[in-house]
Each structure stands twice: as structure tokens, then as C-alpha cells.
Structure 1
């Protein structure tokens, strides 16, 4: 039993990244191509840089011609490369490389991470709305906020700025916030910085003394009185 374990360890191990197993279909690999990549990696891990396709075919239980077809297709799709390098004696030798595959995998993982981050940001946005409104959002309200980001392409910071202005005017309504966003869009205001500048400009305009002195009103002038009052 001990001898068998020793032989088993002598054969070495091939570590397959979970990212590859999870996203291989996104990379355009089918199950047979994935097995080929794993077999090729096992040779590379043992420093056998240019293994026989016949041997890989025996391992996979397919003909050598089929293995060559898979290899050719992966090279054409820039997932496997053949590089020429020099050994310690300065002699050229060819080797297979999976670097192109792992570069594309890294890009997929990065994109997946960004998408996860966006989902987390969406969840945080909903939580902020619920905190400001002092209640849970309805499914329709959640859908409306989602459409602001996905359909209208409003930045999260811009939506939060509109929420801030609505709260200042004690208008706890997505309809009111939507009017603010639409008004900003008509003025080509796309960022929270631009929105703050517009708010400041409008506020300064309201504070200018009038030429004539009409009857004063104690009613507070809304920050965004260009919007129609919510019915």
C-alpha cells in the first residue's frame, strides 16, 4: 500500500482553478475542450511542454485526429499558443502555452467582480431609499429605481442627489424624484457634481432681491419649483 501511495505522489498533482471550471462555457469551451485543456495542463505542470497528441488522445479515449482538431481550433480562437523558447544550452524548443486562455479567464473574472459590485451597489441604493422614506419599498418602486439605472442609465450618485433634494422638500415620492431626474436630463445634467452646481445656481437665483417689492409670503419656496407640485 505504501509503494502505491509513493507512486501516486510521484506522478504529481494538477491544480485546476475554480474560475476555469465555473466560467469555461463563457470562454467558449465545451466539455471535451475543457478536458483537453486539463490534460494539456497536466503535462505542462510536469514540465512536458510539447506532449504527444496521441498520448492525450489515449487519456481522453478519442482518436489522435480528434485531438489535433481540438488543438487547432483552440489555437485559432487564441486560447492556446505554441511558443518557441531556448533551453539552457541555447537550443530552440517549442512548447504549448495556456497563457492566452488564462488572460481571457482573468478578464471574465474581473467583469464578474464588477457585476457583483454593481449588484451590491444596487442593493445599497434600495436600502438608502427605504431609510429615507422610513418604510419598505414596494415591488413597483424597486422596479422603478432599477429602470433608472438600467434603462435611463442614471448614475447612482445622481439618483442619490435627486433623493436628497426630494427629502429636503419633504417629498417622499419616486414620482417627484423622477421629475427631478427628468428635469436634469433635459439640461444635460449627468453627474452629481453638475446637479449640485445647478442646485446652487438655482438657490442663488431665488435669493436675489427683486426689483419691485411684491407682497412677501411666508411660504417656503421649494428648491426645485420648476417641477410641478405632486398631486
Structure 2
């Protein structure tokens, strides 16, 4: 009994990327082809880098002929490759590589990731337009929509930073696109890229502007009831 358990442990384990199990059908692989690839991986893991159709078939419910045909199709479709290797003695031998499979999985992952980012970006942009229309209390003009698009596409401002600039303009009592554009320009010039940095910079700016107002008041000059980023 103990020797059986020991033999079972000595069989070892194989590490399988979970994305292979979740996405194999999107690679147009069926379950039988997946199991064949997993068996190839197992053989490679154990040091047999070129298992025969007979060895692979013995682990599956397909015949040697079917196994051989599946191997041929997987090679043609670019999931596995047979490459030449040479031993230290200069003897040529062949082995399987599953590198093409990993490359396909990476490509699929990047496509899915980019699609998710594009969806998030579209959602953020829609939300951004809604925020502006709510603050302005009206639909945006074509020029204003174009300005928003330029801030994101040309100036590469994050939608959250643009929202922060919108809030800053509201607090300053200057709700217009020229004023918001100036805020974004100043933030970019000062390396402001996060909401926290924007808050800190805005806080310092308002303190500075408040001090100016106090100084003017002490000199009996008219005070300005808002913070003017256009004076930067």
C-alpha cells in the first residue's frame, strides 16, 4: 500500500495555465485535442520530449491512427511544432515544443484585455460627457464635445483627471471650457497625473489665491470671490 502511494507521488504534477482551460474553445480546440496537448505537456515535463502516437494513444480513448491524425492537425494549425535538436555528441533528434500554443494564448489574452480596456474607456467617456452636461445644465455643443475628445485623445488626459478639472472649475466659479483647459494645461505642466495630486495642487493653489484676496482686502481693494486659474 505504501509503495503504491509512493509511486503515485513520484508521478509528479503538471502546471496548467488556467487560461488554457477557460479559453481553449476560443482557440477552436475541442476537448480531445486539449487532452492530447495536456498529455504532450506531461511527457515533456517528465523528460520525454517526443512521445510517439502509441504512447499518447495509450493514455487516451482514441486509436493510434486518430492520435496521429490529431497531431498532424495540431501542427498544421500552429499549436505545436517539431523542432530539431542536437545532443552533445552531435546526434540529431526531434522534439515537440508547445511554444506556439503559449503564443496563441498570449495573443488571445491581449485581445481580451484590450477589448476590456476599450469597453472601460468607452464607459468612462460616456460618464465624462454626462458629468459635463449635468454641471453645465445643458447638452454640450459640437465644439465642446470636440474639446473633450482632444483632451483625451490628443493630450492623453485620464477621464478622472478631466472630471477633477471640472470640479476645480466649479469651485473656482469659472465653469467654461477655456478655464478647464487652462487647469489641465497647468496640471500637465506640473506632472499632475493622479486625483490625489490634483487635489493637493488645487488645495495649494486656492490657499495661494485666498492669501492674495486677504492682502487686497487689507489694502482696501475689491476682493475677487473666486479662484482664477487663468492668472497662472
TM-score (norm 1): 0.59
Q: What residue is the counterpart of 1:98 in the other structure?
A: 98
Secondary structure of 1:78 counterpart: coil
SS in 2 for 1:25: helix
Say how many residue pairs are matched. 162
Confirm whether residue 169 of structure 1 aligns to residue 147 of structure 2.
no
Does structure 2 conserve the Cα–Cα contact (< 8 Å) formed by 1:161 and 1:192?
no
Residues 56 and 67, structure 2, Cα contact 8 Å, conserved in 1: yes
Tell me if structure 1 keeps the 8 A contact 2:144–2:177.
no
What residue is the counterpart of 1:200 in the other structure?
178
Q: How big is the shift at 1:17?
A: 1.9
How large is the Cα RMSD of the aligned pairs? 3.3
Q: How far apart in 2 are the matches of 1:116 and 1:3?
A: 51
Summarize the alignment of residues 1-231 of structure 1 with structure 2, pairs less than 5 Å apart.
Answer: 1-118=1-118, 121=120, 149=122, 156-157=124-125, 159=126, 162-171=129-138, 176=139, 180=140, 182=142, 190-192=149-151, 199-200=177-178
Q: Secondary structure at the match of 1:94?
A: strand
Unaligned runs of 5+ in 1: 123-148, 150-154, 204-231
Unaligned runs of 5+ in 2: 156-161, 167-175, 182-232
Q: 3-state SS of the aligned residue for 2:27?
A: coil
Offset at residue 47 of structure 1 (A): 1.1
2: CA distance, partners of 1:56 / 1:29: 17
Give the superposition deviation at 1:188. 9.6
More helix, by proportion: 2
Shift of 1:18: 1.1
Query: Structure 1 residues 35 and 94, CA, compared in 2 at 3 Å: closer, same or farther?
Result: same
